[in-house]
Amino acid sequence: MKKVVIGQAGGPTSVINATLAGFVEEVMDEYNLTFLQNGYEGLVYGNFLDGTDEINSWIVENKHVPGACLGSGRFPLEAEHIEQCVQQLRNIQADALVVIGGNGTMEALSKIEQEAANTGYELQVIGLPKTVDNDLGGTDHAPGFGSAVRYVAQSTLDISRDLYSMRNFEQVRILETMGRNAGWLALATGFLRRYEEDGPHIILIPERPVKKEIFLKEVDKIIQKNGCAVIVVSEGVKWEGADQIEKEVVDGRKILGGISSEIEFLIKKELKIMARAELLGMNQRSSSMSVSPVDYKEASQAGICGGKWLREGKNKIMVSLQRTKQFDYNINKIPVDLKEVVQEGERLLPDYFIDNHQAYYEWLTPLIGEDLPSYPSPIPRRDSYVREPF
């Protein structure tokens, strides 16, 4: 039996285990499975887990569980680590390596394959896509994104109704979404917006640095008209001419974050109204309350497809999801060269969507699933507005 090593890397999603379980179920009878613990760190240090019947069933039971059940991580892979990875795989005589992840994961996978080839070791590698912020190249979208959108869109609408009803007490809420350099998730918060009174009233994305003066005027205008404003900001948003805002987590290690608090402070100081910043938080990538059925299905299918292609001997590729050109939403799984994925780098929101939110929301529609809330207007009338937030 051939031996395949499978792992999960980067920030988890609420459906990353569905991809893992799909893959495991597809290949468990024909392959000797070995699991990687804690992503690439586990590979560097040879932290493997044998795919016994018990472990395999436990993985399958984890299908619906958020987080990465094998352990993930953000291990910074240096050149010497790549060599160590290859050495570890060679030690256990692995025939193939499959990793579920985003941009960084695919880059590492490509490097490991090259290093193996350079040393005459024939290693089959396949990447399985995963991201909440949709910045992974080479694919129409990646599993994890649809559920994250469902979470942020529903939260934003619900919090809007809450704020609207309290606007005599509190005028501004600033909601911070994930998205380091790409505004996919932030812009998606307007997906359920139907009425002018509902938020988000302003969406700030990393692709467009923000001019303070213009921003404050816009907030003031909305407050004058609506009595309150919901502002959504992606964690990676910059003020014009400034850097992204970082927050020290420990001993000099930094993460993005803090822009929503800066906006809160600015609005309180300049407009003298009550403002409250809050992160939409880890629920964006882990909430089991808002899993999109379509996203879950695609996550699982990406894993199954990876298993099939492993058997077929496909190599140096990532499973990508591509829309067919039919009228109805339909996804083909297409192999895309890992090098192409790496070359594309972080995929930002295209100008077309930034300039035409409605087009973006139509593109999003099939990814989110059904049974989403549809509320009557916040004040008694019947007309509904378009979703453009600004």
Which residues are known to be catalytic?
133
* Distance separating alpha carbons of residues 167 and 378, to the nearest angstrom: 12
Question: Closest separation between CB of residue 104 and a second copy, Å?
Answer: 13
Cβ neighbours, 10 Å, residue 186: 30
Region of residue 187 (left: phi > 0; alpha: psi -120 to 50; beta: else): alpha
Among 23, 31, 48, 75, binds a second copy (CB under 8 A): 75
Nearer to a second copy, 103 or 320 (CB): 103
Asked if residue 153 lies in contact with residue 287, where contact means CB atoms within 8 angstroms, the answer is no
Q: Is 64 in the site for a second copy (CB under 8 A)?
A: yes
Supply φ then ψ for residue 328, to 5 degrees: -75, 155
Q: Is 246 in the site for a second copy (CB under 8 A)?
A: no
How many chain residues bind a second copy (CB under 8 A)?
Answer: 68
Q: Is 216 in the site for a second copy (CB under 8 A)?
A: no
| CA dihedral (377, 382, 388, 390) positive or negative | negative
* Distance separating alpha carbons of residues 174 and 219, to the nearest angstrom: 11
Question: Closest separation between CB of residue 127 and a second copy, Å?
Answer: 19
Q: Is 55 in the site for a second copy (CB under 8 A)?
A: yes
Q: Is 48 in the site for a second copy (CB under 8 A)?
A: no
Nearer to a second copy, 164 or 184 (CB): 164
24, burial (CB in 10 Å: exposed 0-12, middle 13-18, buried 19+): buried
Q: Is 69 in the site for a second copy (CB under 8 A)?
A: yes
Q: Is 159 in the site for a second copy (CB under 8 A)?
A: yes
* Distance separating alpha carbons of residues 88 and 370, to the nearest angstrom: 45
Nearer to a second copy, 8 or 131 (CB): 8
* Distance separating alpha carbons of residues 264 and 266, to the nearest angstrom: 6
Question: Closest separation between CB of residue 386 and a second copy, Å?
Answer: 20
Beta-bridge partner residues of 261: none
Q: Which stretch binds a second copy (CB under 8 A): 79-87, 90-98, 325-333, 374-382?
A: 374-382
Residues that bind a second copy (CB under 8 A): 8, 11-12, 14, 38, 41, 54-55, 58, 61-62, 64-75, 151, 154-155, 158-170, 173, 249-251, 253, 255, 268, 272-276, 278-283, 285-290, 373, 375-376, 378, 380
